[in-house]
Chains A and B, each alone.
Chain A
Amino acid sequence: MTAFPDTRTSRWAALTALLTTGVLLTACGSGSDGGGSGNDSGTPKSGGTLTFAVGSDAGCVDPQQVGSNESIYSVRQTVDSLTDQDPETGKIVPWLAKSWDINSDATQFTFHLRPGVTFSDGSELTAQVVKDNFDAVPKLGALGVLAQGYLSSVKSTTAVDPLTVKVTFKEPNAQFLQATSTHSLGIESSASVRKTPQQKCSDGVIGSGPFVLKQYVQNQSITLAKRTGYDWGSSLWSKKGEAYLDKVVFKVVPEAGVRAGSLQSGQVDAISSVGKANEAALKGGQVTLLHRANPGVVFGLGVNNSRPVLKDVKVRQAILAALDRKEVADTVFPTGTKPATSVLAHTTPDYTDLSADLAFDAAKATSLLDEAGWKAGSDGIRAKGGKKLSLVISWFPNAATNQPALELVQQQLKAVGIDVTLKQGQVSQFATTLQGGDFDLVWGNVTRADPDILRSSFSSKLANFYRLPASSLDTVLAGQAATTDTAQRKQLVAEAQQLIVRNAYDVPVVELQTQLAVTNKVHDLAFDSGSRVQLHDTWIG
């Protein structure tokens, strides 16, 4: 949200940390992209309460309707999904479904459910419950847009027998398997599914997850309690059965400086959305920073490929070469943020390293612009036929890093003779701007742990916000959505990334990194494949 100046100093922070906790633990590293946590030493033990300060409250506690990360951290824990996704490999593994079959053109998915799973109201998980969930998703209203997208071309869901459920689509939909691992398609009890979307939002839902929602006070807190008797965890988790923690309390603390200070002074155990400004205050020995790049389309400039100036591939490629991504990542973003090395973040399944194509090369940018007929004028800005090379970057204040990052991008482009104006809009205009097409370049990203996000973003056959011309890219994108052969899909996704980057249909800049901080008594707080958290294995000691 807002970024007020931070008044803390690291010296004080260190001293405060020393005063608050008697024990001095060693090991103050940074979590890796693998999704590990602060402290993995010692023997895990059950019990205790974890207090987690997050920056915002979405006003909704229904996992199927929540889109904002800071609310997902908590509500995710209340539901299980049919599958889970390994954050290391991107592989889809069993959870509520022990196994599944997919037909050859990826239009039919059959899940074989695990027996003996119950919801916290005592009702059993059956194929009918899954059907009820998937049938209700399209009626979720505005907040359920993510879940609706995953099921957008669904034809029918049928309960074949009590533990077998079959989902059929009108067209190939390979991404659906990964979608079943998301919180958006977390399975709720039939009683919850029958409630209105608004009721589910304000009262929460009955899930089968390792934690149960005990209390929700809007803008204040979300309290979760351990589900006793839980015994059907994801195949990725190390602990069998119930969670370690008795309770998890999420407190909503909007001010970043207050979150950091509260962690340092021991008022909370974990905090979310740690920005660069607060890092110094937290480097005190009692705190571990955890970070992981968000999978999906990296932060960058979405190009309106139908604009006369930007129709010229040489101009687009010049923009690509003119940017020093490392400088942007190191100057503005939290420590550890990686410059973009493809249109996909490196944590996305089937990501391909294209760093050579995204290297900073001002000389190349200059010669490309020369070739395209844009000649440097007296003021350093290039022109062609009396028209200046001026572009507008539209951006929306949905992250504190946007403005400083773009100011740097503006300087870097000016250095090769491209004049850039930054135009700030309202967050709520984001989608309308893309739909309306009145933009040159737009700053944004999309989080999704499946490469199919390339199809929804860049296929000229779908929404086509970036006005790409029809090309072989469409065929490649459609192909990866229709294949169940993992090797073949990987090949097609790699090809798609190359086509997008080499034609500069998009200008990747930096990977968005989720950064959390925990005190050293928190162990095994792990990132899931979507760079959100999994608390079943987390313990305090």
Chain B
Amino acid sequence: MRRYVIKRLAQAVGVLWAAYTVSFLVLDFLPGDPVTAMAGAGVDSGDVDPARLAALRHEYGFDQPILAQYADYLGRAVRGDFGDAVSTGRPVTSTLADALPQTLQLTGAALLLAVLLGGGLAVVATYTSQRWLRQLLLSLPPLGVSVPTFWVGLLLVEVFSFRLHWFPAFGNDGLRGLVLPALTLAIPTGALVAQVLAKSLLTALDQAYVETARAKGAGRWRVHLRHALRNASLPALTVVGLLVGQLIAGSVVVETVFSRDGLGRVTAAAVTVQDIPVVQGVVVFGALIFVATNLLVDLVYPLLDPRIVVASDRRASFV
């Protein structure tokens, strides 16, 4: 068990380093540079003085060789210092920290909705004896996964904000402002939950212990919820990492459509103007969340199912 834990931790650190390095390289390969992006941002190009730009590049260290820049950035990143945002001059860490609560609110609400909606759908679909209803319900998740999130968002805004005036169309104002964005983000996430859970529920219902329970005279609901769902939830745990990834990615789109402040918006804005320190901060933070979630799942799982440690090496948890 100790070896298993150490191995998992080492893997986690490796993933973080890889995420940092790959994003650094990708950003470096992008044509253009942040200084001109800042100077010429907006719709039209102002008068740009090349000498002034060169001086600024030197100021920010963008004229250093790539390896020197990398070593410098990485050394500071290890100490938790991601430098200052080029576009605003504020420290990256506080930029992210300010945006985090909004995103946690959004993703938390979306996750709750997703589990309720997706879980409910999976349970009903596997419980019902009506063939048409089951087919109908089971065809919803693939649809939910494939509809573009921004389109869902715009549709919800159109109906519930512009026409019915139930909710505001944009902003961070309280609970009413959270409903539509959370619902938008919950649709693809919930679809994923439903797909995984329905599959493992169907598998569980075919198991011998279900037969045994039925033979002992347990009611259908009882069998379904007590026995099958309990066992089916375990495999569902393994996709938590995927869910978190999807929530983070989805928040970029949702926060843009609903004009909410948060990590997603910060990311979109930073990518647009090539604000490298911010993008790096976001990538590392995202990887950290992803790795931590998976690590938690990996460490908790053996406690729930002792058979896992043996097989775990064959399971690719870091995809």
Query: Which listed residue, B35, B36, B172, B261, touches A430 by the CB 8 Å rule?
Result: B36
* CB neighbours of B59 from chain A (8 A): 141
Residues of B near A447 (CB, < 8 A) are 43-44
A7, A16, A60, A430 interface centre (most CB from chain B within 10 Å) = A430
Q: State whether the Cβ of A444 lies closer than 8 Å to any Cβ in chain B.
A: yes
Quick check: is B162 within 8 A (CB to CB) of the other chain? yes
Q: Knowing A146-B47, A428-B36, say if A201 contacts B89 (CB, 8 Å).
A: yes
Check if B238 is an interface residue, CB within 8 A of chain A: no
Query: Which of B73-81, B106-114, B153-161 faces chain A?
Result: B153-161
Q: Is the CB of B35 within 8 A of A142?
A: yes
- CB–CB A265/B169 < 8 A: yes
Q: Does any Cβ of B come within 8 Å of A12's Cβ?
A: yes
Let me know if A261 and B161 touch, CB within 8 A: yes
**Which residues on A sit within 8 Å (CB–CB) of B31?**
425-426, 428-429, 432
CB contacts under 8 Å to B, within A223-278, are 251-255, 257-258, 261-262, 264-265, 267
Q: Report the contact-size class of chain B (Cβ under 8 Å from the partner).
A: 35 or more
> Do residues B261 and A217 form an inter-chain contact, with CB atoms below 8 A?
yes
Would you call A59 and B32 a contact (CB within 8 A)?
no
For residue A99, CB closer than 8 A to chain B, the reply is: no
Q: Mark B10-39, 1 if CB is under 8 A from A, else 0.
A: 000000000000000000001111111111
B49→A145 contact, CB < 8 A: yes
Closest to A150 in B: B47
Interface flag for B178 (CB, 8 Å): no
Q: Report the tally of A-B residue pairs with Cβ distances under 8 A.
A: 195
Partner of B49, one of A69, A149, A429: A149
A456 contacts across to B, CB distance below 8 A: 47
The interface bits of chain A over 280-297 (1 if a CB of B lies within 8 angstroms of the residue's CB, else 0) are: 000000000000001010
A197: chain B residues at CB < 8 Å are 89
A427 near B154: Cβ-Cβ < 8 Å: no
Q: Which residues of B contact A430 (CB under 8 A)?
A: 32, 36, 40, 45
For B84, the chain A residues whose CB sits under 8 A away are 198
Give chain B nearest CB distance to A394 CB in angstroms: 11
**In the complex, B317 has a CB within 8 A of chain A:** no
A255 touches B43 (CB 8 A): no
Judged by a CB distance under 8 angstroms, whether A512 is at the interface is yes
Complex interface: chain B residues within 8 A of A58 (CB): 41-42, 87
Q: Which of B116-124, B266-274, B287-295 is near enough to bind chain A?
A: B266-274
Candidates B36, B43, B157, B169; contact of A398 at CB < 8 Å = B43
Distance A66 CA – B213 CA, assembled complex (angstroms): 70
A395-443 contacts to B, CB under 8 A, are 398-399, 425-432, 434-435
Q: Is B155's CB under 8 angstroms from A145's CB?
A: no
Q: How far is the CB of A213 from chain B (nearest CB, A)?
A: 16
Q: Complex: how many Å from CA A141 to CA B157?
A: 40
Do A202 and B88 have beta carbons less than 8 Å apart?
A: yes
Please determine whether B157 and A432 come into contact, CB atoms closer than 8 angstroms.
no
Interface range, A side = 35 or more
Closest partner residue, chain B, to A294 (CB atom)? B44
* B165 contacts across to A, CB distance below 8 A: 20, 265
Cβ contacts A143-161/B at 8 Å (1 or 0 each): 1011011001000000000
Please state if B43 and A431 are interface contacts (CB–CB under 8 Å).
no
Q: Are A512 and B90 in contact (CB under 8 A)?
A: no
Complex: how many Å from CA A464 to CA B151?
45
Q: A146-B47, A220-B261, A432-B32 are in contact. Are A59 and B40 (CB under 8 A)?
A: no
> Which of B50-58, B189-197, B215-223 makes up part of the contact surface?
B50-58
Asked if A69 and B88 sit within 8 Å, CB to CB, the answer is no
Q: Is B46 an interface residue (CB 8 A)?
A: yes
Q: B259 to chain A: which residues have CB within 8 Å?
A: 220, 251-255, 258
With a CB–CB cut-off of 8 A, which chain A residues contact B88? 59-60, 198, 201-202, 218
When C-beta atoms are compared, the residue in chain B nearest to A71 turns out to be: B42
The contact string, 1 if C-beta is below 8 Å from chain B, for chain A 317-346, is 000000000000000000000000000000
B47 close to A427 (CB less than 8 A):
no
A261 touching B32 in the complex, CB below 8 Å, given contacts A217-B261, A427-B41, A428-B37: no
**A432 partner residues in chain B, CB cutoff 8 A:** 31-33, 36
A2 neighbours in B (Cβ, 8 Å): 256
A4, A69, A252, A444: which contacts B45 (Cβ < 8 A)? A444
Identity of the chain B residue whose Cβ is nearest the Cβ of A220 in the assembled complex: B261
B39 CB to closest chain A CB (Å) equals 4
Is the pair B39, A431 in contact by a Cβ cutoff of 8 Å? yes
User: Out of B47, B158, B172, which one reaches A8, CB within 8 Å?
Assistant: B158
Question: A58–B35 Cα gap in the complex (Å)?
Answer: 14
**Is the CB–CB distance between B161 and A265 below 8 Å?**
yes
Flag if A202 contacts B89 (CB, 8 Å).
yes
Residue B286 CB within 8 A of the other chain: no
Chain A, 172-210, contact with B by CB distance < 8 Å: what is the 0/1 string?
000000000000000000000000111101100000000
Question: Contact: B44 with A142, CB < 8 Å?
Answer: no
23 contacts between A and B (CB under 8 A): A4-B150, A7-B155, A8-B162, A58-B42, A67-B40, A69-B42, A142-B86, A148-B52, A196-B89, A220-B259, A253-B259, A255-B154, A255-B259, A265-B162, A265-B169, A267-B168, A425-B32, A427-B32, A427-B273, A428-B33, A431-B40, A432-B31, A435-B50
- Which residues of A does B touch, CB under 8 Å? 1-2, 4, 7-8, 12, 16, 20, 53, 57-60, 67-69, 141-143, 145-146, 148-149, 152, 196-199, 201-202, 217-221, 251-255, 257-258, 261-262, 264-265, 267, 294, 296, 398-399, 425-432, 434-435, 444-448, 453, 456, 463, 512
Lowest 8 A-B CB distances belong to which pairs?
Answer: A198-B89, A428-B37, A428-B32, A68-B42, A429-B32, A261-B162, A431-B36, A149-B47
Given A267-B161, A446-B47, A447-B43, 11 extra CB contacts under 8 A? A16-B162, A68-B41, A141-B56, A141-B59, A145-B39, A145-B47, A220-B261, A267-B170, A429-B31, A445-B44, A512-B43
